[in-house]
Amino acid sequence: MRVHFDFDTRATPAQVREAFTDVGERRLEVWSKSLDPARYEVRDAGEGWAVVREGSAGVPFWVLLRYEWPTPDRVTWTLLDSDHCDRGTGDIRISPRDDGGSHVDVTMHHSRGRGLRGRAVLLVQGLVAPRALPRVWRAALDRLAA
């Protein structure tokens, strides 16, 4: 399953990059409307990468992701483990806007849901994510910019 969406935010490219790459306590503040603190755990981190266990607030699913930020305008992730999906990747591209904000372009690939539950999660994600995630992510980034 491939999910693609994009959106504009008042946050600068540096603020957007920091929001996606800061895996410290501030991450829980920035993503407070979508990230479940009870499921959040940094497993390992280094220069330009981090392995993080995350789950969304209000849903009983979790993922273990390896985030990497190879360039200032790009953040990627690879799914290492999950309770519902076998494989997955993601790519965030950040570009500056003339007004000082940013354009954010996101592509996610997830395949092979684990069992009926996993297939159902991926189906719902494919239908909901392109509409819901841009709103939730834009709101979080706009709050950061304010």
Torsion of the alpha carbons at 124, 90, 104 and 44, rounded to the nearest 10: 120
Question: What is the reported pLDDT for 125?
Answer: 84
Quote the CA–CA distance of 131 and 67 in Å, as a whole number.
23
- Predicted confidence at residue 89, as pLDDT, reads 97
Give the Cα separation of 127 and 106 in Å (integer): 15
In whole angstroms, give the CA distance from residue 117 to residue 140: 29
Q: Where are the domains of the chain?
A: 2-145
Distance CA 83, CA 67 (A): 18
CATH H-level, domain 2-145: superfamily: START domain (3.30.530.20)
Long-range Cβ contacts of 115-120 (<8 Å, 24+ apart): 117/84, 118/84, 118/85, 118/86
**Predicted local confidence at residue 145, as pLDDT:** 96
The predicted structure's pLDDT at residue 105: 98
Residues of the chain with pLDDT under 70: none
pLDDT recorded at residue 49:
98
